[in-house]
Amino acid sequence: MKAYNIIVLAKQVPDTRNVGKDAMKADGTVNRAVLPAIFNPEDLNALEQALRIKDQFPGTTVKILTMGPVRAAEIIREAMFRGGDGGVLLTDRAFAGSDTLATSYALGQALKKMGEIDLIIAGRQAIDGDTAQVGPQVAEKLKMLQVTYVEEVKELKNDTITLKRRLDRGVETVKCKLPLVITVNGTAPECRVRNAKLLMKYKRAKTVTELQKENEDYTMLYTNRPDLNIPEWTVNDIETDASQLGLTGSPTKVKTIENVVLQAKDSKVISDSDENIENMMIELIKSHTIG
Amino acid sequence: MNNVFVYCEIEDGQVAEVSQELLTKGRTLANELNCNLEAIVVGHKLDKIAQQVIPYGVDTLYLADDKRLYPYQTLPHTAVVVRLFEEEQPQIALMGATSIGRDLGPRVSSALHSGLTADCTSLEIGSHSDKKAGKDYENLLYQIRPAFGGNIIATIINPDCRPQMATVREGVMKKNILDPKYKGKVVNLDVSKYVSDTEFVVEIIERHVEKSKLNIKGSPIIVAGGYGVGSKENFKLLHQLAEVLGGEVGASRAAIDAGYVEHDRQIGQTGLTVRPKLYIACGISGQIQHRAGMEQSAQIIAINTDPEAPINSIADYVITGDIADIIPKMIKYYKQNTK
């Protein structure tokens, strides 16, 4: 039976789903400090699809590739707790300010260094931007085929895969050959939870920077257990053309960011008393808004 | 050369709503830029498409007609669009933010190294001066969309790369036929020059397209719930009110992420844009992304436990209180007064 090399593209994102009142600073900028950083939800759906293939085809490896600050190593560890085989953190100031295209370029160059890949699986989109662009842009950079909005891997046999896609108004089942880039929809099965044994096994998995920060001497441990080293790649570890990186390599620029000034309407503020609600309903009926 | 391009999608031989809306917007942009509006349709049996597309003020319509080009497939459609754009060098390219546009757009932008902005809520023409580089730009496309965190609106530009690409959701722009007798030219592309056989590598085994059972967009009354509704159970109240008033139930992104209702009821920037006669927002705080999809409603009722909820400022009626208490009263007094 064939084993597969799978890379999951994942992103650590601020949890924009539970934005409280303190999420914005007085000057209108985002207060990132108060938003928890999480594993992008649809990337977890993507990880689950990869792990299912690993369950079915022993010997399959599932590695994470993520780009972000040093802290983003957290999601590589998180994936290891759930059954992943480590991965690579791509981190460098040179990537700062990247739009989706510059991000895709950097990820594409890193992927080229990750050896032979059968499948690249990513979440459809990240909740901090909702663009759904990075998956297809990476595929184009690598000149690979893509299948987006995948909900289920129906069959994988040698190098032929059958996938069910969830579209705006329906479903589609497609069959094609590997290698392939897949983006996974949020309607796909949720990711399995952490496994207690794997948690114990990998809780000390760290990047070099994390080890230096903690200033603890576990040298022996990391020499004996190479699987605990999370590789950290900077711009020097991959082949890049500087003009395609970061802000410089981003065709889109943010011209302005405006605070939304709400044009306050002349609202009727009413209490929940029976009388008030009845009057409101009568007004709406009279104006033919309802009824 | 250097015109405004719209990629039009076809559904059952009809030009998709979102494409018609983009053609309308594209015409406005082309007028401001004093250039032509062009459209591309890739598919099969396209002989009746020109009469649907050209009345929007399309000067040149490019057709790529081949049996294998319908239904949509990533690589062949990308190949046609990329090659045509290389030849025609559009300054602006618009696509629907649909399962097709969001599959094709990034692919094309990546191949051409041009910028793409997803889910724009407004498109305008404007200038820009880059003080650092000492460069001034005229007639750029402002791609305007709510951004991260909710309370900000970002204007995105692509100063140096062409085409300037944007996707827009259905319902965000308004469609309007310019002139039923508009004179436009049709160019039939020689498909074999644009796509090679090796690009047809995906086999579509089964395709099942269903018309959406819900008609939220067309409903005059929408009862929408947010995270503040609290549970799937509590959403039943909203369904009851919608049923009594003859409306539909919608939801904010937060309510959908929490699993209270199905995904296709989402209203907002990344969901539906609606303009009903009455919008009843229950337990919705009113982030800009949500407001982008409903603020053009004729009347808005906001029901919230938080008297400071941002949605209140755009509401006609603001009721502070618990929906479990208020909705039954609304049902009761509606029934009492319409007998």
Residue B180 DSSP code: T
On chain B, the residues whose CB falls within 8 A of the CB of A168 are 98-99
- Closest by Cβ to B113, choosing from A138, A149, A251: A251
pLDDT at A263 over 70: no
- Residue B152 forms contact with A (CB below 8 Å): yes
The amino acid at B124: E
Q: How confident is the model at residue A89 (pLDDT cuts 50, 70, 90)?
A: very high
- Closest by Cβ to A267, choosing from B103, B246, B315: B315
pLDDT of res. A47: 98
CB B27 within 8 A of CB B180: no
Helix (H, G, I), strand (E, B) or coil at B257: helix
pLDDT of res. B289: 87
CB A174 within 8 A of CB A150: no
The CB density around residue A73, as the number of other CB atoms within 10 Å, is: 26
Q: Which domains does chain B have, with CATH numbers?
A: 4-199 (3.40.50.620), 221-337 (3.40.50.1220)
A278 vs A222, more confident: A278
Residue of A nearest to B333 (CA): A278
Which among A168, A173, A245 is the top mutation candidate for probing chain B, defined by the most B β-carbons within 10 Å of its own β-carbon? A168
On chain A, the residues whose CB falls within 8 A of the CB of B275 are none
User: b/e per residue, A142-173, with b = 16+ CB within 10 A?
Assistant: bebbbbbbbbbbeebeeeebbbbbbbbeebbb
Helix (H, G, I), strand (E, B) or coil at A161: strand
Counting beta carbons within 10 angstroms of the beta carbon of residue B123, is it exposed (0 to 12), middle (13 to 18) or buried (19 or more)?
Answer: buried
Give how far A134 is from chain B: nearest CA, Å. Answer: 7
Q: Do B211 and A169 touch (CB under 8 A)?
A: yes
What's the whole-number mean pLDDT along residues A231-237? 96
> Residue B142 phi/psi, 5° resolution?
-85, 115
The amino acid at B79: A
Per CATH, which fold does A5-244 belong to? Answer: Rossmann fold (3.40.50)
Give how far B113 is from chain A: nearest CA, Å. Answer: 7
- Closest by Cβ to B149, choosing from A24, A168, A276: A24
Tell me what ipTM this predicted complex has. Answer: 0.89
pLDDT of res. A267: 87
- Residue B132 forms contact with A (CB below 8 Å): no
- Closest by Cβ to B317, choosing from A128, A135, A267: A267
pLDDT of res. A266: 80
Q: Do A272 and B329 touch (CB under 8 A)?
A: yes
Q: Do A268 and B204 touch (CB under 8 A)?
A: no
CA angle B70, B75, B80 (to 5 degrees): 75
pLDDT at A66 over 80: yes
CB A134 within 8 A of CB A104: yes
CB B80 within 8 A of CB B63: no
The CB density around residue B67, as the number of other CB atoms within 10 Å, is: 9
CB A247 within 8 A of CB A241: no
Residues 260-299 of B with CB under 8 A from A: 263, 269-270, 277-278, 287-288, 298-299
CB A85 within 8 A of CB A79: no
Residues of chain B with pLDDT under 50: none
Residue of B nearest to A267 (CA): B316
Give how far B184 is from chain A: nearest CA, Å. Answer: 31
Sign of the dihedral defined by the CA atoms of residues B133, B138, B141, B145, in that order = positive
pLDDT at A31 over 80: no
pLDDT of res. B153: 84
- Rounded CA-CA distance B39/B53 in Å is 8
What is the DSSP track for B109-163?
HHHHT--EE-S-SEEEEEEEEETTTTEEEEEEEEEEEEETTTTEEEEEE-SSSSS
Q: Do B333 and A282 touch (CB under 8 A)?
A: yes
The CB density around residue B240, as the number of other CB atoms within 10 Å, is: 16
Query: How many Cβ pairs closer than 8 A exist between chain A and B?
Result: 255
Query: Are β-strands B14-15 and B10-11 bridged in parallel, bridged antiparallel, or unpaired?
Result: antiparallel
pLDDT of res. B178: 95
The CB density around residue A288, as the number of other CB atoms within 10 Å, is: 8
Q: Do B107 and A252 touch (CB under 8 A)?
A: no
CB B23 within 8 A of CB B8: yes
CA angle B307, B309, B315 (to 5 degrees): 90
pLDDT of res. B212: 66
Q: Do B201 and A177 touch (CB under 8 A)?
A: yes
- Residue B12 forms contact with A (CB below 8 Å): no
Which among B10, B109, B167, B313 is the top mutation candidate for probing chain A, defined by the most A β-carbons within 10 Å of its own β-carbon? B109
- Rounded CA-CA distance B159/B145 in Å is 17
- Rounded CA-CA distance B190/A286 in Å is 61
Tokens of B95: 């696509």
Which are the contacts of A275, defined by CB distance < 8 A and separation ≥ 6? none
- Residue B105 forms contact with A (CB below 8 Å): yes
pLDDT at A183 over 70: yes
Q: What is the mean pLDDT of chain A?
A: 91
- Rounded CA-CA distance A14/B338 in Å is 48
Q: Do A263 and B313 touch (CB under 8 A)?
A: yes
Residue of A nearest to B338 (CA): A291
Tokens of B35: 């250039």
A289 vs B125, more confident: B125
- Residue B174 forms contact with A (CB below 8 Å): no
- Rounded CA-CA distance B142/B35 in Å is 17
CB B229 within 8 A of CB B255: yes
- Rounded CA-CA distance A254/A258 in Å is 11
Query: Are β-strands A268-270 and A37-39 bridged in parallel, bridged antiparallel, or unpaired?
Result: unpaired
Sign of the dihedral defined by the CA atoms of residues A54, A57, A61, A65, in that order = negative
- Rounded CA-CA distance B111/B81 in Å is 10
pLDDT of res. B11: 84
pLDDT of res. B302: 96
Q: Do A136 and B103 touch (CB under 8 A)?
A: yes
Give how far B297 is from chain A: nearest CA, Å. Answer: 11
The gap between the terminal CA atoms of chain A, to the nearest Å, is 66
pLDDT of res. A29: 55
- Rounded CA-CA distance A246/A93 in Å is 8
- Rounded CA-CA distance B222/B241 in Å is 10
pLDDT of res. A217: 67
Q: How confident is the model at residue A24 (pLDDT cuts 50, 70, 90)?
A: low
- Residue B203 forms contact with A (CB below 8 Å): yes
Instruction: List, for residues B262-302, the tens digit of each pLDDT value.
Output: 888 999 988 899 999 999 999 999 988 899 899 989 999 99
Q: Do A136 and B316 touch (CB under 8 A)?
A: no
pLDDT at A26 over 70: no
- Rounded CA-CA distance A93/A113 in Å is 20
On chain B, the residues whose CB falls within 8 A of the CB of A290 are 221, 245-246, 277-278, 334
Q: How far is CA B40 from CA B54, B96, B180, B216, in A?
A: 11, 13, 19, 30
A65 vs A267, more confident: A65
Element (H, E) at B304: strand B299-304
Which are the contacts of B28, defined by CB distance < 8 A and separation ≥ 6? none
On chain A, the residues whose CB falls within 8 A of the CB of B148 are 14, 16, 30, 128-129
Which are the contacts of B54, defined by CB distance < 8 A and separation ≥ 6? B61, B182, B183, B184, B186
Residue of B nearest to A31 (CA): B149
- Rounded CA-CA distance B27/B53 in Å is 12
pLDDT of res. B215: 84
